[in-house]
Structure 1
Amino acid sequence: MIIDAHCHVWPDEIARKVLADRPVGLDPVHDGTLDGLRRTMDAAGIDMALTLAVANVGRTVRRTNEFVGRVDRSRFVPFGTVHPDLSVEENLAALRDNGVVGVKLHPLFQEVAFADERTREILVALAENNIPVLAHVGSGGDAHQNERGAPKSLHEMMAAISGLRLIAAHYGGYQVLDEAERWTVGTDIHLETSWPPSMGILPPERVISIIRRHGADRVVYGSDWPMTDPATEIAAIRALGLSPEDENAILGGNLAKLLGIDLPASG
Protein backbone atom coordinates (compact mmCIF):
# COMPACT_ATOMS: atom_id res chain seq x y z
CA MET A 1 0.00 0.00 0.00
CA ILE A 2 1.23 3.48 -0.90
CA ILE A 3 0.00 6.40 1.19
CA ASP A 4 0.91 9.98 0.32
CA ALA A 5 1.29 12.00 3.52
CA HIS A 6 1.34 15.45 1.93
CA CYS A 7 -1.38 16.57 -0.48
CA HIS A 8 -2.82 20.08 -0.33
CA VAL A 9 -6.41 20.46 -1.54
CA TRP A 10 -8.86 23.32 -1.94
CA PRO A 11 -12.45 23.68 -3.17
CA ASP A 12 -12.52 23.78 -6.96
CA GLU A 13 -13.39 27.48 -7.13
CA ILE A 14 -10.54 28.41 -4.78
CA ALA A 15 -7.74 26.12 -6.00
CA ARG A 16 -6.94 28.11 -9.14
CA LYS A 17 -6.74 31.40 -7.23
CA VAL A 18 -4.51 29.93 -4.53
CA LEU A 19 -2.11 28.29 -6.95
CA ALA A 20 -1.78 31.46 -9.03
CA ASP A 21 0.02 33.11 -6.11
CA ARG A 22 2.80 30.71 -5.18
CA PRO A 23 6.47 31.34 -4.34
CA VAL A 24 8.84 31.79 -7.26
CA GLY A 25 10.34 28.47 -8.30
CA LEU A 26 7.43 26.39 -7.02
CA ASP A 27 5.08 26.22 -9.96
CA PRO A 28 2.27 23.70 -9.41
CA VAL A 29 2.21 20.65 -11.65
CA HIS A 30 -1.37 19.63 -10.76
CA ASP A 31 -4.60 21.53 -10.09
CA GLY A 32 -5.13 21.26 -6.31
CA THR A 33 -8.67 19.84 -6.52
CA LEU A 34 -9.94 16.61 -5.00
CA ASP A 35 -10.83 15.21 -8.43
CA GLY A 36 -7.38 16.15 -9.69
CA LEU A 37 -5.75 14.43 -6.73
CA ARG A 38 -7.76 11.26 -7.30
CA ARG A 39 -6.66 11.17 -10.95
CA THR A 40 -3.04 11.71 -9.92
CA MET A 41 -3.25 8.93 -7.34
CA ASP A 42 -4.76 6.50 -9.83
CA ALA A 43 -2.01 7.26 -12.37
CA ALA A 44 0.77 6.86 -9.78
CA GLY A 45 -0.61 3.76 -8.05
CA ILE A 46 -1.28 5.57 -4.75
CA ASP A 47 -3.90 3.93 -2.56
CA MET A 48 -4.60 6.70 -0.05
CA ALA A 49 -3.57 10.29 0.63
CA LEU A 50 -3.67 12.71 3.49
CA THR A 51 -5.68 15.70 2.26
CA LEU A 52 -4.34 18.84 3.92
CA ALA A 53 -6.45 21.97 4.30
CA VAL A 54 -5.06 25.09 5.98
CA ALA A 55 -6.84 28.21 7.23
CA ASN A 56 -4.60 31.28 7.18
CA VAL A 57 -6.86 33.15 9.62
CA GLY A 58 -9.05 32.06 12.51
CA ARG A 59 -12.37 33.04 10.93
CA THR A 60 -11.98 30.45 8.15
CA VAL A 61 -11.05 27.49 10.38
CA ARG A 62 -14.55 26.04 10.63
CA ARG A 63 -15.44 26.24 6.94
CA THR A 64 -12.03 24.86 5.98
CA ASN A 65 -12.63 21.85 8.22
CA GLU A 66 -16.15 21.48 6.85
CA PHE A 67 -14.67 21.22 3.36
CA VAL A 68 -11.95 18.69 4.16
CA GLY A 69 -14.27 16.70 6.44
CA ARG A 70 -16.44 15.81 3.43
CA VAL A 71 -13.73 13.92 1.52
CA ASP A 72 -14.14 10.31 0.41
CA ARG A 73 -12.72 8.36 3.35
CA SER A 74 -12.01 5.29 1.20
CA ARG A 75 -9.16 7.20 -0.50
CA PHE A 76 -8.55 10.32 1.55
CA VAL A 77 -7.60 10.97 5.20
CA PRO A 78 -8.72 14.48 6.20
CA PHE A 79 -6.11 16.63 7.92
CA GLY A 80 -7.64 19.98 8.76
CA THR A 81 -6.69 23.18 10.45
CA VAL A 82 -6.41 25.08 13.71
CA HIS A 83 -5.44 28.67 14.43
CA PRO A 84 -4.22 30.50 17.56
CA ASP A 85 -6.77 33.29 17.01
CA LEU A 86 -9.38 30.79 18.27
CA SER A 87 -9.65 29.21 21.69
CA VAL A 88 -8.48 25.65 22.23
CA GLU A 89 -12.07 24.46 22.52
CA GLU A 90 -13.16 26.29 19.34
CA ASN A 91 -10.33 24.61 17.44
CA LEU A 92 -11.14 21.17 18.83
CA ALA A 93 -14.85 21.59 18.09
CA ALA A 94 -14.15 22.55 14.47
CA LEU A 95 -12.17 19.32 14.06
CA ARG A 96 -14.53 17.09 16.02
CA ASP A 97 -17.76 18.36 14.42
CA ASN A 98 -16.42 17.53 10.96
CA GLY A 99 -14.73 14.22 11.71
CA VAL A 100 -11.28 15.61 10.87
CA VAL A 101 -8.66 13.15 12.12
CA GLY A 102 -5.45 15.21 11.93
CA VAL A 103 -4.06 18.73 11.65
CA LYS A 104 -1.70 20.48 9.22
CA LEU A 105 0.33 23.36 10.66
CA HIS A 106 1.93 25.76 8.20
CA PRO A 107 4.10 28.48 9.78
CA LEU A 108 4.72 30.08 6.37
CA PHE A 109 1.07 30.85 5.71
CA GLN A 110 -0.48 30.91 9.19
CA GLU A 111 0.32 33.06 12.21
CA VAL A 112 1.57 29.88 13.83
CA ALA A 113 4.97 29.69 15.51
CA PHE A 114 6.44 26.69 17.31
CA ALA A 115 7.68 29.02 20.06
CA ASP A 116 4.29 30.72 20.54
CA GLU A 117 2.57 29.72 23.78
CA ARG A 118 -0.84 29.89 22.04
CA THR A 119 0.31 27.35 19.46
CA ARG A 120 1.70 25.10 22.17
CA GLU A 121 -1.58 25.20 24.12
CA ILE A 122 -3.42 23.95 21.04
CA LEU A 123 -0.83 21.23 20.43
CA VAL A 124 -1.06 20.04 24.04
CA ALA A 125 -4.81 19.64 23.53
CA LEU A 126 -4.24 17.77 20.26
CA ALA A 127 -1.82 15.43 22.03
CA GLU A 128 -4.33 14.85 24.83
CA ASN A 129 -6.97 13.97 22.22
CA ASN A 130 -4.55 11.75 20.23
CA ILE A 131 -4.83 13.91 17.12
CA PRO A 132 -1.73 13.69 14.89
CA VAL A 133 -0.09 16.77 13.38
CA LEU A 134 1.85 17.25 10.15
CA ALA A 135 3.88 20.47 10.23
CA HIS A 136 5.88 22.36 7.66
CA VAL A 137 9.34 22.73 9.15
CA GLY A 138 12.09 24.90 7.72
CA SER A 139 12.22 27.83 5.33
CA GLY A 140 10.42 28.93 2.18
CA GLY A 141 9.29 32.42 3.17
CA ASP A 142 10.72 35.63 4.58
CA ALA A 143 12.92 35.73 7.68
CA HIS A 144 9.98 36.09 10.07
CA GLN A 145 8.05 33.22 8.49
CA ASN A 146 11.13 31.02 8.48
CA GLU A 147 11.78 31.67 12.16
CA ARG A 148 8.22 30.59 13.07
CA GLY A 149 8.91 27.11 11.71
CA ALA A 150 12.62 26.71 12.42
CA PRO A 151 13.94 23.21 13.27
CA LYS A 152 15.42 24.45 16.55
CA SER A 153 12.03 25.85 17.60
CA LEU A 154 10.39 22.54 16.70
CA HIS A 155 12.94 20.69 18.84
CA GLU A 156 12.25 22.95 21.81
CA MET A 157 8.50 22.67 21.33
CA MET A 158 8.56 18.87 21.22
CA ALA A 159 10.61 18.79 24.43
CA ALA A 160 7.83 20.77 26.12
CA ILE A 161 4.84 18.70 24.87
CA SER A 162 4.35 15.10 25.88
CA GLY A 163 2.70 12.51 23.66
CA LEU A 164 2.27 14.57 20.50
CA ARG A 165 2.26 12.46 17.32
CA LEU A 166 4.09 14.78 14.93
CA ILE A 167 5.20 14.38 11.34
CA ALA A 168 7.86 16.91 10.31
CA ALA A 169 7.58 17.70 6.61
CA HIS A 170 10.60 18.06 4.34
CA TYR A 171 12.94 15.89 6.44
CA GLY A 172 12.39 18.35 9.28
CA GLY A 173 13.98 21.37 7.61
CA TYR A 174 12.99 22.57 4.15
CA GLN A 175 15.91 24.41 2.53
CA VAL A 176 17.85 24.16 5.83
CA LEU A 177 18.84 20.52 5.87
CA ASP A 178 21.92 21.18 8.00
CA GLU A 179 19.64 22.53 10.74
CA ALA A 180 17.29 19.59 10.30
CA GLU A 181 20.13 17.12 10.80
CA ARG A 182 21.13 18.94 13.98
CA TRP A 183 17.69 19.43 15.54
CA THR A 184 15.22 16.88 14.13
CA VAL A 185 17.02 13.83 12.79
CA GLY A 186 17.13 11.19 15.51
CA THR A 187 14.35 12.73 17.61
CA ASP A 188 11.03 11.11 18.53
CA ILE A 189 9.06 12.33 15.52
CA HIS A 190 8.30 11.06 12.03
CA LEU A 191 10.11 12.63 9.09
CA GLU A 192 8.31 13.14 5.79
CA THR A 193 10.17 12.99 2.48
CA SER A 194 8.84 15.82 0.29
CA TRP A 195 11.33 18.39 -1.01
CA PRO A 196 9.86 20.67 -3.69
CA PRO A 197 10.45 20.87 -6.56
CA SER A 198 11.58 17.24 -6.06
CA MET A 199 13.50 15.20 -3.51
CA GLY A 200 15.47 14.00 -6.52
CA ILE A 201 17.58 17.18 -6.24
CA LEU A 202 18.95 15.99 -2.87
CA PRO A 203 22.09 13.83 -2.91
CA PRO A 204 20.86 10.24 -2.53
CA GLU A 205 23.66 9.35 -0.13
CA ARG A 206 22.57 12.17 2.19
CA VAL A 207 18.95 11.02 2.14
CA ILE A 208 20.02 7.43 2.89
CA SER A 209 22.17 8.66 5.78
CA ILE A 210 19.24 10.61 7.25
CA ILE A 211 16.93 7.61 6.96
CA ARG A 212 19.43 5.29 8.61
CA ARG A 213 20.22 7.67 11.47
CA HIS A 214 16.59 8.55 12.11
CA GLY A 215 15.27 5.04 11.61
CA ALA A 216 13.45 3.85 8.50
CA ASP A 217 10.48 2.93 10.71
CA ARG A 218 9.90 6.64 11.41
CA VAL A 219 10.09 8.03 7.87
CA VAL A 220 6.97 8.49 5.70
CA TYR A 221 6.59 9.28 2.03
CA GLY A 222 4.94 12.56 1.05
CA SER A 223 4.87 14.41 -2.26
CA ASP A 224 3.66 17.98 -1.47
CA TRP A 225 1.04 17.66 -4.21
CA PRO A 226 0.15 19.69 -6.27
CA MET A 227 3.58 21.36 -6.23
CA THR A 228 5.32 18.12 -7.21
CA ASP A 229 4.46 14.99 -9.17
CA PRO A 230 3.91 12.02 -6.82
CA ALA A 231 5.04 9.41 -9.36
CA THR A 232 8.39 11.19 -9.67
CA GLU A 233 8.77 11.31 -5.88
CA ILE A 234 7.94 7.61 -5.49
CA ALA A 235 10.52 6.78 -8.15
CA ALA A 236 13.12 8.83 -6.25
CA ILE A 237 12.49 6.81 -3.08
CA ARG A 238 12.69 3.53 -4.98
CA ALA A 239 15.97 4.66 -6.56
CA LEU A 240 17.63 4.90 -3.13
CA GLY A 241 18.24 1.15 -3.07
CA LEU A 242 16.67 0.55 0.34
CA SER A 243 15.68 -2.93 1.40
CA PRO A 244 12.18 -3.98 0.24
CA GLU A 245 11.03 -3.90 3.87
CA ASP A 246 12.24 -0.35 4.46
CA GLU A 247 10.98 0.87 1.10
CA ASN A 248 7.50 -0.53 1.70
CA ALA A 249 7.43 0.90 5.22
CA ILE A 250 8.34 4.38 4.02
CA LEU A 251 5.91 4.33 1.10
CA GLY A 252 2.94 3.43 3.28
CA GLY A 253 3.44 0.99 6.12
CA ASN A 254 4.80 3.47 8.64
CA LEU A 255 2.04 5.99 8.06
CA ALA A 256 -0.63 3.28 8.18
CA LYS A 257 0.72 2.19 11.58
CA LEU A 258 0.89 5.77 12.87
CA LEU A 259 -2.69 6.53 11.84
CA GLY A 260 -4.22 3.11 12.50
CA ILE A 261 -5.02 2.36 8.84
CA ASP A 262 -5.51 -1.32 8.10
CA LEU A 263 -3.09 -2.68 5.55
CA PRO A 264 -4.24 -5.29 3.02
CA ALA A 265 -3.27 -8.84 3.84
CA SER A 266 -0.10 -9.94 2.04
CA GLY A 267 -0.12 -12.94 -0.22
Structure 2
Amino acid sequence: MIIDAHTHVWPDKIAHAALSGNRLPGLVARGDGTVDGLTRDMSESGVDASCCLGIANEARHVDRVNEFVAGLRSPERFGFGTVHVDLSVEDNLASLRRHGITAVKIHPLFQRYALNDPRLWSIFEAFGSEIAVITHVGEGGSPEANALSNPGMIRDIARQFPDLRLMACHFGGYKLFDDAREILEGVDVVLETSWPPSLATLRPERVRQLIQRHGAERIVFGSDWPMTSPAEEIAAIEALGLSDDEVKLVLGGTMARILDVPSPWRR
Protein backbone atom coordinates (compact mmCIF):
# COMPACT_ATOMS: atom_id res chain seq x y z
CA MET A 1 0.00 0.00 0.00
CA ILE A 2 1.76 3.13 -1.23
CA ILE A 3 0.95 6.28 0.75
CA ASP A 4 2.08 9.69 -0.48
CA ALA A 5 2.68 11.80 2.63
CA HIS A 6 2.97 15.13 0.81
CA THR A 7 0.51 16.50 -1.74
CA HIS A 8 -1.32 19.80 -2.13
CA VAL A 9 -4.78 20.40 -3.60
CA TRP A 10 -7.06 23.40 -3.77
CA PRO A 11 -10.69 24.00 -4.77
CA ASP A 12 -11.01 23.85 -8.55
CA LYS A 13 -11.88 27.52 -8.94
CA ILE A 14 -8.71 28.74 -7.19
CA ALA A 15 -6.25 25.90 -7.90
CA HIS A 16 -4.46 27.68 -10.75
CA ALA A 17 -4.12 30.95 -8.86
CA ALA A 18 -3.08 29.23 -5.63
CA LEU A 19 -0.49 27.09 -7.37
CA SER A 20 0.95 30.11 -9.16
CA GLY A 21 1.06 32.16 -5.96
CA ASN A 22 2.71 29.44 -3.87
CA ARG A 23 5.21 28.21 -6.45
CA LEU A 24 8.82 28.06 -5.35
CA PRO A 25 11.34 29.85 -7.58
CA GLY A 26 12.74 27.77 -10.41
CA LEU A 27 10.18 24.96 -10.18
CA VAL A 28 7.55 24.05 -12.76
CA ALA A 29 4.40 22.26 -11.59
CA ARG A 30 3.81 18.76 -12.96
CA GLY A 31 0.13 18.66 -11.96
CA ASP A 32 -2.79 21.08 -11.82
CA GLY A 33 -3.43 21.13 -8.06
CA THR A 34 -7.03 19.88 -8.33
CA VAL A 35 -8.56 16.85 -6.62
CA ASP A 36 -9.33 15.27 -10.00
CA GLY A 37 -5.78 15.89 -11.15
CA LEU A 38 -4.36 14.25 -8.04
CA THR A 39 -6.71 11.30 -8.43
CA ARG A 40 -5.55 10.75 -12.02
CA ASP A 41 -1.88 10.93 -11.09
CA MET A 42 -2.41 8.57 -8.13
CA SER A 43 -4.02 6.02 -10.44
CA GLU A 44 -1.28 6.33 -13.04
CA SER A 45 1.53 6.05 -10.47
CA GLY A 46 0.09 3.28 -8.28
CA VAL A 47 -0.40 5.44 -5.18
CA ASP A 48 -3.14 3.98 -2.97
CA ALA A 49 -3.64 6.97 -0.66
CA SER A 50 -2.43 10.56 -0.44
CA CYS A 51 -2.12 13.04 2.39
CA CYS A 52 -3.57 16.35 1.20
CA LEU A 53 -1.85 19.16 3.09
CA GLY A 54 -3.75 22.39 3.71
CA ILE A 55 -1.97 25.71 4.24
CA ALA A 56 -3.51 28.98 5.41
CA ASN A 57 -1.06 31.75 4.61
CA GLU A 58 -3.11 34.10 6.80
CA ALA A 59 -4.93 33.46 10.06
CA ARG A 60 -8.30 34.53 8.68
CA HIS A 61 -8.23 31.61 6.23
CA VAL A 62 -7.53 28.85 8.78
CA ASP A 63 -11.07 27.64 9.35
CA ARG A 64 -11.99 27.80 5.66
CA VAL A 65 -8.94 25.72 4.74
CA ASN A 66 -9.72 23.21 7.46
CA GLU A 67 -13.30 22.91 6.23
CA PHE A 68 -12.05 22.21 2.69
CA VAL A 69 -9.46 19.70 3.88
CA ALA A 70 -12.01 17.86 6.01
CA GLY A 71 -14.23 17.52 2.94
CA LEU A 72 -11.45 15.66 1.11
CA ARG A 73 -11.52 12.77 3.55
CA SER A 74 -11.98 9.38 1.87
CA PRO A 75 -10.29 5.97 1.86
CA GLU A 76 -7.85 7.39 -0.71
CA ARG A 77 -7.25 10.79 0.88
CA PHE A 78 -6.17 11.96 4.33
CA GLY A 79 -6.77 15.63 5.03
CA PHE A 80 -4.05 17.51 6.91
CA GLY A 81 -5.28 20.83 8.26
CA THR A 82 -3.63 24.12 9.10
CA VAL A 83 -2.95 26.41 12.04
CA HIS A 84 -1.59 29.94 12.32
CA VAL A 85 0.29 31.67 15.11
CA ASP A 86 -1.83 34.82 14.75
CA LEU A 87 -4.74 32.82 16.20
CA SER A 88 -4.88 31.74 19.81
CA VAL A 89 -4.06 28.17 20.75
CA GLU A 90 -7.72 27.71 21.66
CA ASP A 91 -8.99 28.99 18.31
CA ASN A 92 -6.58 26.78 16.38
CA LEU A 93 -7.59 23.68 18.32
CA ALA A 94 -11.28 24.53 18.04
CA SER A 95 -11.06 24.68 14.25
CA LEU A 96 -9.22 21.36 14.02
CA ARG A 97 -11.64 19.59 16.34
CA ARG A 98 -14.70 21.12 14.69
CA HIS A 99 -13.63 19.55 11.41
CA GLY A 100 -12.28 16.28 12.83
CA ILE A 101 -8.70 16.95 11.77
CA THR A 102 -5.88 15.05 13.50
CA ALA A 103 -2.83 16.23 11.53
CA VAL A 104 -1.58 19.61 10.29
CA LYS A 105 0.91 21.09 7.85
CA ILE A 106 3.22 23.96 8.82
CA HIS A 107 4.88 25.97 6.03
CA PRO A 108 7.19 28.74 7.29
CA LEU A 109 7.93 30.03 3.77
CA PHE A 110 4.30 30.82 3.01
CA GLN A 111 2.94 31.43 6.51
CA ARG A 112 5.84 33.72 7.38
CA TYR A 113 6.62 32.53 10.88
CA ALA A 114 9.58 30.58 12.19
CA LEU A 115 9.64 27.04 13.51
CA ASN A 116 11.06 28.38 16.78
CA ASP A 117 8.33 31.01 17.21
CA PRO A 118 7.13 30.76 20.85
CA ARG A 119 3.53 31.01 19.66
CA LEU A 120 4.00 27.93 17.49
CA TRP A 121 5.58 26.07 20.37
CA SER A 122 2.52 26.82 22.49
CA ILE A 123 0.43 25.16 19.80
CA PHE A 124 2.76 22.15 19.73
CA GLU A 125 2.52 21.84 23.49
CA ALA A 126 -1.27 21.77 23.23
CA PHE A 127 -1.12 19.11 20.51
CA GLY A 128 0.63 16.55 22.73
CA SER A 129 0.33 13.28 20.82
CA GLU A 130 -3.20 14.06 19.60
CA ILE A 131 -2.31 16.09 16.48
CA ALA A 132 0.45 15.01 14.10
CA VAL A 133 2.60 17.68 12.43
CA ILE A 134 4.34 17.71 9.06
CA THR A 135 6.40 20.80 8.26
CA HIS A 136 8.43 22.27 5.46
CA VAL A 137 12.05 22.66 6.46
CA GLY A 138 14.81 24.46 4.60
CA GLU A 139 15.12 26.77 1.66
CA GLY A 140 12.89 27.69 -1.27
CA GLY A 141 12.40 31.43 -0.90
CA SER A 142 14.19 34.66 -0.05
CA PRO A 143 17.08 34.64 2.44
CA GLU A 144 14.70 36.02 5.06
CA ALA A 145 12.14 33.29 4.39
CA ASN A 146 14.79 30.56 4.30
CA ALA A 147 15.92 31.57 7.80
CA LEU A 148 12.50 30.64 9.22
CA SER A 149 13.24 26.90 9.26
CA ASN A 150 16.31 24.68 9.43
CA PRO A 151 17.33 21.22 10.69
CA GLY A 152 18.47 22.59 14.05
CA MET A 153 14.97 23.91 14.74
CA ILE A 154 13.53 20.46 14.02
CA ARG A 155 15.99 18.88 16.44
CA ASP A 156 15.00 21.38 19.13
CA ILE A 157 11.27 20.76 18.60
CA ALA A 158 11.75 16.99 18.78
CA ARG A 159 13.65 17.31 22.06
CA GLN A 160 11.22 19.82 23.59
CA PHE A 161 8.08 17.88 22.62
CA PRO A 162 8.90 14.15 22.75
CA ASP A 163 5.22 13.17 22.45
CA LEU A 164 4.65 15.23 19.29
CA ARG A 165 4.22 13.12 16.15
CA LEU A 166 6.61 15.18 14.05
CA MET A 167 7.46 14.78 10.36
CA ALA A 168 10.02 16.95 8.59
CA CYS A 169 9.69 17.42 4.83
CA HIS A 170 12.62 17.24 2.41
CA PHE A 171 14.69 14.98 4.67
CA GLY A 172 14.62 17.72 7.29
CA GLY A 173 16.16 20.47 5.18
CA TYR A 174 15.43 21.37 1.56
CA LYS A 175 18.73 22.22 -0.13
CA LEU A 176 20.38 21.57 3.27
CA PHE A 177 20.84 17.83 2.87
CA ASP A 178 24.24 17.53 4.52
CA ASP A 179 23.23 19.73 7.46
CA ALA A 180 20.05 17.70 7.95
CA ARG A 181 21.93 14.41 7.81
CA GLU A 182 24.44 15.58 10.41
CA ILE A 183 22.00 17.31 12.77
CA LEU A 184 19.02 14.94 12.62
CA GLU A 185 20.66 11.52 12.49
CA GLY A 186 19.28 9.58 15.43
CA VAL A 187 16.81 12.30 16.43
CA ASP A 188 13.30 10.95 17.00
CA VAL A 189 11.69 12.63 14.01
CA VAL A 190 10.20 11.14 10.86
CA LEU A 191 11.81 12.43 7.66
CA GLU A 192 9.90 12.79 4.39
CA THR A 193 11.56 12.20 1.02
CA SER A 194 10.35 14.91 -1.39
CA TRP A 195 13.05 16.95 -3.13
CA PRO A 196 11.62 19.00 -6.03
CA PRO A 197 12.14 18.85 -8.92
CA SER A 198 13.02 15.21 -8.12
CA LEU A 199 14.65 13.00 -5.53
CA ALA A 200 16.67 11.66 -8.46
CA THR A 201 18.71 14.89 -8.44
CA LEU A 202 20.42 13.69 -5.24
CA ARG A 203 23.14 11.04 -5.35
CA PRO A 204 21.49 7.69 -4.55
CA GLU A 205 24.25 6.56 -2.21
CA ARG A 206 23.84 9.67 -0.04
CA VAL A 207 20.09 9.15 0.26
CA ARG A 208 20.46 5.42 0.90
CA GLN A 209 23.01 6.05 3.64
CA LEU A 210 20.76 8.59 5.36
CA ILE A 211 17.75 6.26 5.26
CA GLN A 212 19.68 3.29 6.59
CA ARG A 213 21.31 5.27 9.38
CA HIS A 214 18.11 7.04 10.43
CA GLY A 215 16.03 3.90 9.99
CA ALA A 216 13.41 3.22 7.33
CA GLU A 217 10.83 3.04 10.11
CA ARG A 218 11.35 6.82 10.46
CA ILE A 219 11.18 7.68 6.74
CA VAL A 220 8.03 8.38 4.71
CA PHE A 221 7.60 8.81 0.97
CA GLY A 222 6.29 12.17 -0.17
CA SER A 223 6.09 13.54 -3.69
CA ASP A 224 5.16 17.20 -3.04
CA TRP A 225 2.60 16.87 -5.86
CA PRO A 226 1.80 18.87 -7.97
CA MET A 227 5.45 19.97 -8.06
CA THR A 228 6.74 16.51 -8.98
CA SER A 229 5.54 13.30 -10.61
CA PRO A 230 4.66 10.66 -7.97
CA ALA A 231 5.53 7.89 -10.44
CA GLU A 232 9.02 9.30 -10.95
CA GLU A 233 9.56 9.78 -7.21
CA ILE A 234 8.50 6.20 -6.48
CA ALA A 235 10.92 4.99 -9.15
CA ALA A 236 13.69 7.07 -7.57
CA ILE A 237 13.10 5.42 -4.19
CA GLU A 238 13.03 1.96 -5.75
CA ALA A 239 16.38 2.75 -7.42
CA LEU A 240 18.19 3.64 -4.17
CA GLY A 241 19.42 0.10 -3.50
CA LEU A 242 17.40 -0.40 -0.32
CA SER A 243 16.16 -3.81 0.81
CA ASP A 244 12.61 -4.85 -0.07
CA ASP A 245 11.54 -4.37 3.54
CA GLU A 246 13.07 -0.88 3.65
CA VAL A 247 11.33 0.12 0.41
CA LYS A 248 7.97 -1.07 1.75
CA LEU A 249 8.42 0.90 4.97
CA VAL A 250 9.38 4.07 3.11
CA LEU A 251 6.64 3.82 0.48
CA GLY A 252 3.83 3.19 2.93
CA GLY A 253 4.51 1.11 6.00
CA THR A 254 5.83 3.94 8.16
CA MET A 255 3.04 6.31 7.15
CA ALA A 256 0.41 3.63 7.78
CA ARG A 257 1.69 3.38 11.34
CA ILE A 258 1.59 7.16 11.82
CA LEU A 259 -1.93 7.39 10.40
CA ASP A 260 -2.97 4.21 12.24
CA VAL A 261 -4.42 2.57 9.15
CA PRO A 262 -4.14 -1.10 8.14
CA SER A 263 -1.44 -2.02 5.67
CA PRO A 264 0.46 -5.23 4.92
CA TRP A 265 3.61 -3.08 4.98
CA ARG A 266 2.97 -1.63 8.43
CA ARG A 267 5.38 -2.68 11.15
- Structure 1 length-normalised TM: 0.96
| Matching residue of 1:54 | 55
| Matching residue of 2:5 | 5
| Amino acid in the other structure paired with 1:119 | L
**Bigger shift: residues 84-93 or 157-166:** 157-166
| Matching residue of 2:31 | 30
Q: Could you say what secondary structure the match of 2:29 adopts?
A: coil
Correspondence 1:239-254 to 2 at 5 A: 239-254=239-254
Q: Could you say what secondary structure the match of 2:128 adopts?
A: helix
Q: Which runs of 5+ in 2 are unaligned?
A: none
| Amino acid in the other structure paired with 1:215 | G
Cα distance in structure 1, aligned partners of 2:265 and 2:161:
36
Correspondence 1:103-122 to 2 at 5 A: 103-122=104-123
| Matching residue of 2:77 | 76
* Contact 1:191–1:218 under 8 Å retained in 2: yes
| Matching residue of 2:20 | 20
* Cα drift, residue 20 of structure 1: 2.2
Q: Could you say what secondary structure the match of 1:69 adopts?
A: helix
* Cα drift, residue 178 of structure 1: 1.7
| Matching residue of 1:226 | 226
| Matching residue of 2:151 | 151
| Matching residue of 1:86 | 87
State how many pairs are aligned.
265
Label 1:12 to 1:207 Cα distance change in 2 as closer, same or farther (>3 A). same
* Cα drift, residue 112 of structure 1: 2.6
Q: Which runs of 5+ in 1 are unaligned?
A: none
* Contact 2:158–2:187 under 8 Å retained in 1: no
| Matching residue of 1:124 | 125
CA deviation map 1:3-58 (0-9, x unaligned)? 00000111111110022232331110100111111111011111001000100010
| Amino acid in the other structure paired with 1:29 | R
* Contact 2:248–2:265 under 8 Å retained in 1: no
* Contact 2:253–2:265 under 8 Å retained in 1: no
Q: Could you say what secondary structure the match of 2:263 adopts?
A: coil
**Bigger shift: residues 203-212 or 139-148:** 139-148
* Cα drift, residue 185 of structure 1: 2.6
- Structure 2 length-normalised TM: 0.96
Q: Could you say what secondary structure the match of 1:19 adopts?
A: helix
* Cα drift, residue 264 of structure 1: 5.0
Percent identity, please.
49
Correspondence 1:159-198 to 2 at 5 A: 159-198=159-198
| Matching residue of 2:68 | 67
Q: RMSD between aligned alpha carbons?
A: 1.4
Q: Could you say what secondary structure the match of 1:80 adopts?
A: strand
| Amino acid in the other structure paired with 2:122 | E
CA deviation map 1:148-203 (0-9, x unaligned)? 11111221222222311111100001001121112223210101000000000000
